[in-house]
Every structure is written in structure tokens, then in C-alpha cells.
Amino acid sequence: MHTKIVSLLPAATEIVCALGLEDNLVGRSHECDFPESVKQLPVCSEANFPNGLSSAAIDVKVKEILADALSVYTVNREQIKKLSPDVVITQAQCEVCAVSLTEVEEALENYLDKQAQIISLQPNSLEDIFNDIKSVATTLHVSERGDILIEELQERVDIIRHKLKFADSKPTIACIEWLAPLMLSGNWVPELVNIAGATSILTEAGKHSPYVQWDDIRLQNPEILIVMPCGFAIERTLKEIDILLQLPGFNELKAVKNNRVYIADGNQYFNRPGPRIVDSIEILAEIIHPKQFIFGYEGDGWIKFTL
């Protein structure tokens, strides 16, 4: 039986494709864009705020929408009904990241001509991400492929861990997930940073990304600064980098003085809890320990930002 899948989450789309089931995908979210070939699929969701808003404006708009108990995204029920999926994949991780489980359940309840199975992903750690891959593989009856994929990913992680086993220093690092208001990367990112041989400041592995005061970052005075806003490509971040540069005492930070400020593609890598989360660890390893690791992501996955 050919299982028809609608994925409402970029990470889930990548998981399905990595499991060799791209042909089963019949629909995607408005944000699913990798691999490139999925862009031809019908789009089944949309954002409820206009494109091109600044970080601060996006933050205000999202908070307004959520305060009114509305959703940041809309599910296109008609489109999904037309596609008649057997499985719909979404998430219960973050109301701002993608269509939520509740939204999908409400949209599809008594609406489809047949009962679709809903898979909801909610990862907070690297292990959770691997478990999600496992559970998607099991649900889609390709558990063996899931095991092979996880083994390959785990091997790449182990190579980094092994190389850094005897590293003497663990530099402090601030990973910035949002520029206005300031937010540091939580969830799995502190763990990825740790694997790549550094210490993430003001965050706790497995806990949601915290809003922070600039003064707290200044007090911690990180040795490395990586700007990786959620949903932003490098070019998009460059348009708003001035928000950071204008903060009092920015030039006094160790990271700035030592020319260790970087911009990474948060949208394609760090904010996507799918197979490319291991690419994200490799990106961090390249940035943190440039003498030990060259995976080839520079220029595309990350750039050095020089004032």
C-alpha cells in the first residue's frame, strides 16, 4: 500500500526524504524547502502575518496573535482534503515554529473522508530528534531504514566527540536565536554546542530558548558569538545585524575583540530538528575548532562576520 503523507513541518519533510519515502509525500507546509525537489508539492499551510517584517515586528505580531488565542499559521483544510493523506506529520514543540498539533487536529476532525493518522513531533534534545526519526520510520513501516539512518548520524557525532576527547579548552559561546527582543538558543542547541567542544552561556540543554537581557550577555562576556535567528537565512540576518552592533559595549566583548563573531543559517540548520541537526554540530565544530575540523559549510552554512 502506498502511504500518502502530508508533512506540515520542514524537519519532518527532511526525515521522510532521508528515509527514502519522498515519493510518498503528497503535500507540504509553506516552509518545507529541502530537499529542493519538495518545493513542487502542493502547499497546505500559510503564515498569518506578512512577509518581510523586522524581527521586532514579527515578535509583536506573533505575541498579538497568540494573545488572541489564534494560531500563527493556518492549515489549508480544503487542500489536505483533496490530497486525502493517510498520515499527517506536525509538531507540538513551539507555536511559533510551525503548525501545532491542536491546529491540525481541529482542522481535520470529522473533515477528511477517511481517518488520517497524525504524528506529532516534540523534540527537546538530540536523543529526542533521533527518537522522532525512529518513530516516524516505525509508523511508516521502514524501521530498518530508520535504524540505518540513525546509525549513520550517530557515527558522525561520535567522530566529533572522539576528536575533541582531549581538547583542553571549552570556549564560552552565545548562540543568538532572535535579535529583537534578544533570545538565546535553547532546546537541543546547548547540547550541540557541548558536543562541538564549547559551553553555551545562559541556557540549559533541553529547556526552551530564553529571552535575555543584553547586560547579562555582557557580564558573561562570551568568547564566541554566533547569530542564528530562527527561520532566518544568512542574508536575512545580515539585514538586521545592526540591532546587535548598536548595543552598548558590543565592541568590548571578547568575541568581538578576538574577531570571533559568526552568522549561521538558523533556518536551514539549527532550528530544524531533523537529520541536518548533525550538519549543525559539524558547523559548530568548524567554527569553534577551525584547526581541527573542515567540513565545508563555510560560506553557505555560516560566515565569519567582520565589523
pTM of the model: 0.94
What digits encode the pLDDT tens for the residues 147-162? 999 999 999 999 999 9
* Alpha carbons 95 and 54: distance in angstroms, whole number: 19
Q: Is the pLDDT of residue 25 over 60?
A: yes
Structure-block grid coordinates of residue 33: 524547502
Q: According to the model, what pLDDT value does residue 92 have?
A: 72
- Confidence category of residue 245, pLDDT binned at 50, 70, 90: very high
Mean pLDDT (the chain, rounded): 91
> Contact at 8 Å (CB) between 98 and 90?
yes
> Contact at 8 Å (CB) between 267 and 303?
no
Determine the 3-state secondary structure of 304 from DSSP.
strand
Q: According to the model, what pLDDT value does residue 69 have?
A: 61
What digits encode the pLDDT tens for the residues 95-129? 555 566 676 777 677 667 678 888 888 899 999 99
Residues 28-33, mean pLDDT to the nearest whole number? 94
User: Which amino acid appears at position 88 of this protein?
Assistant: V
Least confident of 47-51, 190-194, 238-242, 248-252: 47-51
Q: According to the model, what pLDDT value does residue 219 have?
A: 97
> Contact at 8 Å (CB) between 269 and 189?
no
* Alpha carbons 34 and 265: distance in angstroms, whole number: 14
* Alpha carbons 28 and 62: distance in angstroms, whole number: 22
Helical segments of the chain, H only: 10-18, 55-67, 77-83, 101-108, 126-139, 143-163, 189-195, 214-220, 234-240, 242-245, 254-257, 277-288
Determine the 3-state secondary structure of 121 from DSSP.
strand
Residues 45-71, mean pLDDT to the nearest whole number? 80
User: If 0-12 CB within 10 Å is exposed, 13-18 middle and 19+ buried, where does residue 258 land?
Assistant: exposed
Q: According to the model, what pLDDT value does residue 110 have?
A: 66
Count CA atoms closer than 13 A to 255's CA, side-chain side.
29
* Alpha carbons 281 and 154: distance in angstroms, whole number: 11
Query: From residue 169, how far is each of 7, 284, 288 by CA, in Å?
Result: 41, 15, 10
Residues 101, 106, 108, 114, Cα dihedral to 10°: 100
Bond preceding residue 50 cis, omega within 30 of 0:
no
Higher pLDDT, 89 or 100: 89
What b-and-e string marks burial along 145-184, b requiring 16 or more CB atoms within 10 Å of the CB?
Answer: bbeebbeebeeebeebeeebeeeeeebbbbbbbbbbebbb
Q: According to the model, what pLDDT value does residue 296 have?
A: 97
Question: Domains in the chain, start-ordered, CATH in brackets?
Answer: 5-122 (3.40.50.1980), 164-304 (3.40.50.1980)
What digits encode the pLDDT tens for the residues 215-231? 999 999 999 999 999 98
Bond preceding residue 123 cis, omega within 30 of 0:
no
Residues 267-290, mean pLDDT to the nearest whole number? 96
Higher pLDDT, 255 or 109: 255
Structure-block grid coordinates of residue 8: 506540515
* Alpha carbons 97 and 273: distance in angstroms, whole number: 11
* Alpha carbons 157 and 195: distance in angstroms, whole number: 8
